[in-house]
Structure 1
């Protein structure tokens, strides 16, 4: 299954809360790709090949994916932002009646059975899964031409239960992701309980409340995090719960809302303090939360291998929102249509490989004792236990020869090099600690220097 020797869900590492750990206490570094149709189908004529997707993740040595959910049943431009294809999303959590409207008192077992089976299959591939519970892009237009709320189960025209997610007549369902309509909050809790009941016995589960809901959703998200915590207290297993950054075109969200939340893990936007930026120069991770640094909330689709390594060397767990099958970015940068499903977009292979390479390295390190120490090296990208182990990333904009401050290191250290582009390794002898030393990379590409005490 997921982690050799582990028989429990992840929990925050007690000594280094930048990471999770398994039941043995071993730190677990999470990294991987995620894509939009890995749970629900967009097009029944071209179903998503989930087993091939899991093989794809394993091929790149990824151990995490974010399982996307969509609250609405149909759409096109609202789902992709650029597609004219009409997409039919299926299954949904709620059962449809013969009139095609939803009965919000009946949950659709097909949805929950599929969810469970896909998480079990991911576990067999050694992959942890974050279950997205709600979708912020489905309750409002967020500046797009088509408003998905017209197809939402909580639109009064789409259910037989008299539930109105827009009592003010605004044309959007923003109130659905607040606590202002108690009947809806109650229905949401029933759904969340069903998700938990469905997967509680599985160890490779994490939860995410919602993808990029609006800023007014913050208290609702806190409420749902606490609800999951309280409900899982009554059950055999407790799983980490995450909160990702709220977003609307007019407001990028506040990262501090994440860090003061009751969540175990968070995903911020690009805005950081003290001159840092999570896109190009992430700040050293502090110990307030496990941070899954996700390109989704930084670029949308974006990032490069240097970003992956910078994130790793600053104490983060990097994730990539992956176009994966180019057919699902219909009409976008690839110019492909849904008929082109099956053609994996190769432009992002360097990012995919970089995440896998960081995991190869992470598995060889004592992550429990490594924290960001930008002051110890010329590049500023350094994880270290100054007495025992150093990992330094050298971006290509730096010279191949750099200094490292080993003044706190006693004794001798073995010198190793790692080619961050190819995964190639090279040994380079031994060095004594006690003062600042100079090292020259053997690779022309971005390199990683590893120093371990002997």
Structure 2
């Protein structure tokens, strides 16, 4: 078994090269033409980013686990990144999370030996790490990791896609007890020649000096060097955002990373937005996100039912997302809600409640030892961990449909106003534009009391499941309450625009 693992590591390492068609600088300059500077927050509408022109940028898209590192039991199988980008472009997506795992092997959800490559650090050629290879040297970065990072971001940018660079990974800890990725973690002192590390834990906790906490001064120095290396690698790219960690990290540590990035980028040509996504762990509340110094956030259901058995959701982001009036750009992610889940109705509910919805897409299914033990497998072996699961096509396409509508209006002036429409799903400025979702079809009453009574409002219906629009020839006047009946038996979107 040990010989097999070493051979697999060598197979992965043999792919450690990147080809540039031009110099990295010229590739970046060409790619940046698709964007108008890095994204930044907007003081007039905290729900959306703006670019250098002041235009509001609505973010949406698919992300998948293997879009940066190669992942798998079969190490000869390569992820088709270009085909994935082609799908995103065809679906009119403009955002992805670029996934990383800190560990080199194993996963907490399967007993099988899964490998992750490339890794942040070079091997030392000395000793033996938990994955069967030699130990890591925390003073020597694996340049291929960073070259690949840069090139993947440029490839996405050439298709108009923004990329959130995931810096750390909460699932590189033993979260489930099925298998322990800490065994193959470079920051486990048993796996490096530098004698630096932290204690193992199922979750990050500042009082226990875990890996993503403020209680490990030597490890913090190592993490700081890594963060700065990432910034040096991608700072000149306009389509970059940062994400501190996927579902991990003590709150104080998250703030430390955010502040470190901000301070270090002050001396650089460009500054990029920084995200704080839910750690999804006991004791953490969504208010920590909303009160943080992050530019964007991604929450989870609250309360977590596994942490508080028998409770009901107070913030139900799956079925009825609360209107985003939290004062933060909120990139609402199916990953932090279902894991494997979501549907096209969720896309429209999220859009009309002021969110930027994104999809955890099993475009390349995540490796599992057995699907039979999980909740997303149904009779006959039908699995949600499958690119072609029927709901996923409609999630992908409707994210793009919603973006087209967002791009067609002056989004910077629109806010979620549930009380304006009887369905509760309304994005509007209350005077010129109303985007209303009818999740159950039927009809909807809209409060147009603040509208110009002499102005015409033109009506357009959009049917998400059909990707079909219907423009109505006869406009309505502003003022009073107006009722509109959806001319379709399914769900629909009503768009009212003045003049």
CA contact under 8 A between 1:207 and 1:241: conserved in structure 2? yes
Q: Report the secondary structure of 1:38's partner residue.
A: coil
Please list the CA deviations of residues 368-410 of structure 1 after superposition, one character each: whole Å capped at 9, or x if unmatched: 11101111111010001111110000012xx522211111111
Question: How far does residue 365 in structure 1 lie from its aligned partner after superposition?
Answer: 1.3
* CA spacing shift, 1:172–1:304, aligned 2, 3 Å: closer
Could you tell me which of 40, 47, 63 is aligned with 2:69?
A: 40
- 1:444 and 2:489 are equivalent in the alignment: yes
Task: Give a deviation string over 1:175-211, Cα, whole Å, max 9, x none.
Answer: 1100101110010010000000000000000000001
- Please list, as runs of the form range in 1=range in 2, the aligned pairs for 1:47-62 lying within 5 A after superposition: 47-62=78-93
SS in 2 for 1:33: strand
2:223 is matched with 188
Per the alignment, do residues 264 and 2 of structure 1 end up closer, same or farther by CA in structure 2, a change over 3 Å counting? Answer: farther
Q: Secondary structure at the match of 1:11?
A: coil
Report the Cα distance in structure 2 between the residues aligned to 1:230 and 1:326, rounded to whole angstroms: 38
Q: Deviations over 1:317-344 (max 9, x none)?
A: 0011111123645633569xxxxxx973
Q: How far apart, in 1, do the equivalents of 2:202 and 2:477 lie?
A: 68
The equivalent of 1:29 in structure 2 is 58
After TM superposition, the structure 1 stretch with the greater mean CA deviation from structure 2, 371-380 or 144-153, is 144-153
Is the 1:71–1:153 contact (alpha carbons within 8 Å) kept by the matching residues of 2? yes
Whole-Å separation in 1 of the counterparts to 2:387 and 2:90: 13
> Which ranges of structure 2 fall in alignment gaps of 5 or more residues?
1-29, 127-133, 304-311, 379-384
Structure 1 contact 292–316 (Cα < 8 Å) conserved: yes
Partner of residue 125, structure 1: 159
Is the 8 Å Cα contact of residues 2 and 128 (structure 1) preserved in structure 2?
A: no
What corresponds to 2:136 in structure 1? 102
Counterpart of 1:8 in structure 2 is 37
- Name the structure 2 match of 1:260: 291
Please say if 1:233 is aligned against 2:266.
Answer: yes
Secondary structure at 1:86 match in 2: strand
* TM score, norm. by length of structure 1: 0.91
Alignment-derived partner of residue 356 in structure 1 = 400
Give the direction of change, closer, same or farther, for the CA distance of 1:114–1:17 in structure 2 (3 Å limit).
Answer: same
Q: Which residue of 2 aligns with 1:339?
A: none
d(CA) in 1 for partners of 2:464, 2:221: 49
In the alignment, what sits opposite 2:426? 382
Provide closer, same or farther for how the CA distance between residues 72 and 5 of structure 1 changes in structure 2, counting only shifts above 3 A.
closer
1:292 to 331, 334, 339: 331
Residues 68 and 220 (structure 1), Cα distance of their counterparts in 2 relative to 1, 3 Å cut: same
Correspondence list, 1:32-431, <5 A: 32-43=61-72, 44-76=75-107, 78=108, 81=109, 83-99=110-126, 100-138=134-172, 140-166=173-199, 175-214=210-249, 217-248=250-281, 251=282, 253-271=284-302, 275-286=314-325, 288-326=327-365, 328=367, 331-332=370-371, 344-347=387-390, 348-396=392-440, 399-410=441-452, 411-428=455-472, 429-431=474-476
Contact 1:31–1:355 (8 Å) recurs in 2: yes
The whole-number CA distance in structure 2 between the counterparts of 1:202 and 1:237 is 8
Partners of 2:59 and 2:95 within 8 A in 1: yes
- How much has 1:157 moved relative to structure 2? 1.1
Work out whether residues 135 and 193 of structure 2, in 8 Å CA contact, stay in contact via their aligned partners in 1.
Answer: yes
Q: Which residue pairs with 2:477 in the alignment?
A: 432
- 1:287 CA drift (Å): 5.2
Q: How far is the alpha carbon of 1:421 from its aligned partner?
A: 1.8
- Say whether the 8 Å CA contact 2:42–2:48 is kept in structure 1: yes
Q: CA–CA distance in 1 between the matches of 2:187 and 2:321? A: 39
Alpha-carbon shift at residue 134 of structure 1 (Å): 0.3
Normalising by structure 2, report the TM-score: 0.83
After TM superposition, the structure 1 stretch with the greater mean CA deviation from structure 2, 141-150 or 57-66, is 141-150
Unaligned regions of 5+ residues in structure 1, if any? Answer: 336-341
Q: What's the C-alpha RMSD, in Å, of the aligned pairs? A: 2.2
Q: CA deviation at 1:171?
A: 9.3
